[in-house]
Amino acid sequence: MSALPETSREWHLVARPHGWPKAEDFALREVPVSEPGEGRVLVRNLYFSVDPYMRGRMNDVKSYTPPFQLDRPMEGGAVGEVIASNAEGFSVGDHVLHGLGWREYADVPAKHATKVDGSVAPLSAYLGVLGMPGLTAYAGLFDVASFKEGDAVFVSGAAGAVGSQVGQLARIKGASRVIGSAGSDEKVKLLVEEYGFDAAFNYKNGPVAQQLKEAAPDGIDVYFDNVGGEHLEAALSSFNVHGRATICGMIAQYNNTEAAPGPRNLALVIGKRLRLQGMLVNDHNDLAPQFVKDVAGWIASGELKYNETVVEGIENGYDAFVGLLRGENTGKMIVSLTR
């Protein structure tokens, strides 16, 4: 076994953000590295993920997942190379997916590490199109929203890691129309020209409800919500009878310091007999094998395209996360530690 590194840098949450996260809420600290114990592997992280749900874990509130602890390393998806193993079935040189991101080196229980194959797709893809965001899109559209051929589908946050995949999956499976919203004219162009959306609009250019009605004059049957707020209200107005919404995220209000107002037209749920259902991806892990098989095939055939916004260097982890919340990413936001 080659000599292990003596230290590792890792991001700690040192104060709970009030509103938008600030640089002083985080600290990049150096900690010692030791050989892994029984049943564990030491991983040199090559990429780690920053995701919108992490903002909720920075609050000290009861939720579906425990909050980040203060003065402890934060967590999240990561892909890396095993550099030391004390676990059966894992060897030095293996590439693994695990949940101890935000750090250079991770001491990971082997039971929480999954081998990944870099010959099937780039390793970073296992944090996006072939990872948690991809499974979110797949399960949220096909299982939660009960998508069927001929449905008209609207996706908010459509240029992000989840939204861009939702729209393409709907197109591949025979949607009658796919509409997306994004926060810049460049992203709108990407949705139509690269991802094959039938229509897209910049939500900053005017009222969402008006732009959605123009993009979907015959209404929508499925809404995949990554944003909440004005987008959800607009979708309620454009829904056809028996429309279904997957409520995946509400990034528009994650940094609010006061309660966000609810949609003013919620009563439409009654007359239109709508179904609005929240989702957590971990409820759908049974779909993972079929998801990987289907999506890997669509990537190989060129039917499904994806983008990544890669930020270099662990020291820029905070900037990557805040950039994600501001919508500075196209596709999956990833921090690379490969340089």
Q: What is the per-residue pLDDT across 7-24, written as a single tens digit (0 to 9) for each?
A: 999 999 999 999 999 999
d(CA 195, CA 148): 20
CA nearest to 172, candidates 279, 297, 290: 297
Q: What is the per-residue pLDDT across 32-48, written as a single tens digit (0 to 9) for each?
A: 999 999 999 999 999 99
d(CA 17, CA 13): 9
Question: Which residue stretches of the chain have pLDDT < 50?
Answer: none
pLDDT given for residue 204 in this prediction: 96
CA nearest to 178, candidates 201, 203, 159, 155: 155
pLDDT given for residue 255 in this prediction: 67
CA 127 to chain centre: 9
Structure tokens at 297: 């095939």
pTM passes above 0.85: yes
DSSP 154-170: EESSTTBHHHHHHHHHH
Sketch out the chain's domains with CATH numbers.
Answer: 7-128+306-336 (3.90.180.10), 132-282 (3.40.50.720)
Structure tokens at 116: 């990944």
pLDDT given for residue 237 in this prediction: 98
pLDDT given for residue 36 in this prediction: 97
* Sign of the CA dihedral running 52, 55, 56, 58: positive
